[in-house]
Structure 1
């Protein structure tokens, strides 16, 4: 199974740190945020990675290279214009192949055991959901009998940015910018999206304060 790390965001909420450094390369715990993902994926048996980028993307390529020093092979999907999550994945599909692939947002930190997702996919997607953080109290989706559904009027759980997706989810999508969420919601309507509730460590590293929180958690583990 291949894996894709989403790394194309501009990180505007983390300025000035991201004015000259792409968010995935911001250091935490002694290494860039994206390197935590790469090392965890390699340890879980994922050796073929695809990384998209846009803002200051050449820095990401220069730092990671071909991935050999991490024990993986990295292919890059460069985006000259913002493509949103869905558009970025669609553009990278030729690098990902025809089989289901693991997707990881480059701006989260987690101890999720990626090896648990190396199993057959039931449907078009499998989402890892987490408890709602303080900055997102309503959540995104709910779980019902192992299937993910729109949350409705009641608070649900938060999408962690970790999923397994079947390329067929993007069938018929035109090139260009579009979001992933509407595709997932449409597939949920057909009962084609599974999910799980992960209760381990997870932080959406969207602000300087949350980057500091990850630094604190890593210090506690050392």
Structure 2
């Protein structure tokens, strides 16, 4: 199975840090944020990784190269003007699927977590198009995103909603009929939830959304 790291955002909430450095290359604990993902992917057995980029994307390619230093093969999906998340995935689909492999992992480039990626296994059922990792709500996102049902499916409405970590296994059929103008991933997932085709996995360990300079500094202190 292949993996994709979403790294095309401009990181506007992280300014001025991202005026000269793409967000995935901002450092915490002495290494770039994206390096933690690459190390975790290798540890979980992944070897082929696709990274999309837009803002200052050449810096990402120069820093990571072919991925040899991480024991990985990295390919890039440049976007120029950044696409939204679903659009970026659709553009990268030819690099992610084929040869009988229709499932792939997607992880947001601006998170940090101790979630063991090896726990994500392709659902052995034809009635599932996505498996999302959800976690307890942080203080800055107290309302959560999706409700985990007793049968393991996720719903866009319901009590005790949890926060989507930005880690998921997706099947290519989730994007049937879409092109790279598809917009954000959220509406695509919500449509699949209505049909009962999205499952959830509750991560009770550590997770952070590194969306502000303050949270980056907090993570740096934590890791050091």
Q: Report TM bin, short chain.
A: over 0.9
Label 1:133 to 1:121 Cα distance change in 2 as closer, same or farther (>3 A).
farther
Q: Whole-Å Cα distance in 2 between the matches of residues 40 and 196 of structure 1?
A: 18
- Indicate whether 1:102 and 2:108 are aligned: no
Q: Whole-Å Cα distance in 1 between the matches of residues 131 and 184 of structure 2?
A: 17
Contact 2:122 2:169 in 1 (8 A): no
Shift of 1:121: 5.1
SS in 2 for 1:206: coil
Name 1:13's counterpart in structure 2. 13
Which of residues 201, 204, 207 is equivalent to 1:202? 207
Contact 1:121 1:164 in 2 (8 A): no
Q: Whole-Å Cα distance in 2 between the matches of residues 9 and 64 of structure 1?
A: 17
Deviations 1:121-151 (CA, angstroms, capped at 9, x unpaired): 5410000001111111111101002111112
Name 2:57's counterpart in structure 1. 57
**RMSD, matched Cα:** 1.2
Q: Whole-Å Cα distance in 2 between the matches of residues 177 and 83 of structure 1?
A: 9
Structure 1, unaligned runs of 5 or more: none
Structure 2, unaligned runs of 5 or more: none
Deviations 1:89-123 (CA, angstroms, capped at 9, x unpaired): 00000100141001100000001000111344541
Q: Whole-Å Cα distance in 1 between the matches of residues 110 and 58 of structure 2?
A: 18
Contact 1:82 1:177 in 2 (8 A): no
Q: Whole-Å Cα distance in 2 between the matches of residues 166 and 62 of structure 1?
A: 30
Which of residues 194, 214, 222 is equivalent to 2:219? 214
Label 1:54 to 1:39 Cα distance change in 2 as closer, same or farther (>3 A).
same
Name 1:66's counterpart in structure 2. 66
Which of residues 129, 140, 146 is equivalent to 1:124? 129
**Residue pairs, 1:14-53, within 5 angstroms:** 14-53=14-53
Q: Whole-Å Cα distance in 2 between the matches of residues 149 and 177 of structure 1?
A: 21
Shift of 1:63: 0.4
80-89 or 44-53, larger mean C-alpha shift: 80-89
TM-score normalized by the length of structure 1: 0.95
200-209 or 175-184, larger mean C-alpha shift: 175-184
Shift of 1:177: 4.8
Contact 1:5 1:103 in 2 (8 A): yes
TM-score normalized by the length of structure 2: 0.94
Which of residues 157, 177, 182 is equivalent to 1:151? 157
Contact 2:91 2:179 in 1 (8 A): no
